[in-house]
Amino acid sequence: MPDPLAELRYELALANRILANEDVLDAFGHVSVRHPKDPNRYLLSCSRAPELVAPGDIMEYTLDSQLVTKSEIPLYSERVIHGEIFKARPDVMAVVHHHAPPFMPFVITGTDYVPVFHLGATGGAKPPFWDQRHEFGDTNLLVVKPEEGASLARAMGKHWMVLMNRHGVTLGGTSIRDVVFRAIFSCRNAEFLLRAKALGEIKPLSPGEVEKAAVISTKTTGQARAWELWTVRLDKAGGTPPRGVKAKSKPKAKPGKAKKKR
């Protein structure tokens, strides 16, 4: 029977690799999407570096971040970030969690993110901070307990992005493409903001400008144009995910059939 989610698994694998290719994700960080037919489930890779994620790695989870089909395969320890945000925000259809370098100075110092160019509005006017220490004391900073994920989702509130002190960033979006767009352009904005601060006084977008500029990212023409570019860049880098669901590990070659060396 063909997998009804095959196209979505492919798109999510592609999103993982695009975000890695654009330097948002590295060995860590992840991207998920809500199940299109069952809002009480979501799709997320098993524990694998985003650059390597293939459609066959994409697993189905309940909103309590448990696998729908039991498996012994290692999973992301921070998957509760996704489940708890999907629970708290019915309007969020996709989630990205990252530790991208342009944001680290902000989350380390607790400096506000403000949009300084039109596409920076995708991150919101002044996204809130969440400090795990306030509620949970000394932790290893990973968000692994459901109550930690729920606390993060509360801090996010109605925003599309939440900054996590000494850790990273979590974003929501209305689709995979929307959340990828927000993740990439908010990183660009953070980069510009940091550099501009070194040059002089910052004059961020006004609240009215943020509101108007934020609409840009919701237009499918812009999203499609950016997605095509990122897809082609990934392809040029040789990173396009394989089509179809393949076995996770290839069977080892049978011994005894090695070619003779000349």
Measured between alpha carbons, how far is 22 from 183 in angstroms, rounded to an integer?
10
Between 143 and 213, CB nearer to Mn ion: 143
Q: Which of the residues 143 through 172 are near Mn ion (CB under 5 A)?
A: 168
Measured between alpha carbons, how far is 107 from 84 in angstroms, rounded to an integer?
21
Considering the candidates 11, 22, 78, 148, report the single residue annotated as catalytic.
78
- The answer to whether 221 touches 257, Cβ cutoff 8 Å, is no
- The answer to whether 183 touches 19, Cβ cutoff 8 Å, is yes
Tell me which DSSP letter residue 118 carries. G
Q: How far is the CB of 111 from Mn ion (least distance, A)?
A: 19
Between 125 and 183, CB nearer to Mn ion: 183
Between 124 and 168, CB nearer to Mn ion: 168
Q: Which of the residues 167 through 226 are near Mn ion (CB under 5 A)?
A: 168
User: For residue 170, which phi and psi values (nearest 5 degrees)?
Assistant: -130, 135
Q: How far is the CB of 158 from Mn ion (least distance, A)?
A: 22
Could you write out the DSSP letters of every residue in 69-104?
A: S---S---TTTHHHHHHHHH-TT--EEEEE--GGGH
Q: How far is the CB of 251 from Mn ion (least distance, A)?
A: 34
Between 27 and 73, CB nearer to Mn ion: 27
Which residue is listed with tokens 């290893």?
Answer: 140
Between 50 and 168, CB nearer to Mn ion: 168
Q: How far is the CB of 146 from Mn ion (least distance, A)?
A: 16
- Give the Cα-Cα-Cα angle 175, 27, 172 (nearest 5 degrees): 20
DSSP element (H, E) containing 233: helix 220-236
Measured between alpha carbons, how far is 195 from 189 in angstroms, rounded to an integer?
10
The 3-state secondary structure of 242-259 reads: CCCCCCCCCCCCCCCCCC
Residue 51 falls in the annotated catalytic set: no
Q: How far is the CB of 26 from Mn ion (least distance, A)?
A: 11
Q: How far is the CB of 170 from Mn ion (least distance, A)?
A: 8
The 3-state secondary structure of 171-187 reads: EEECCHHHHHHHHHHHH
User: For residue 49, which phi and psi values (nearest 5 degrees)?
Assistant: -60, 135
Residue numbers of the site for Mn ion (CB under 5 A)?
168
Q: Which residues are catalytic?
A: 78
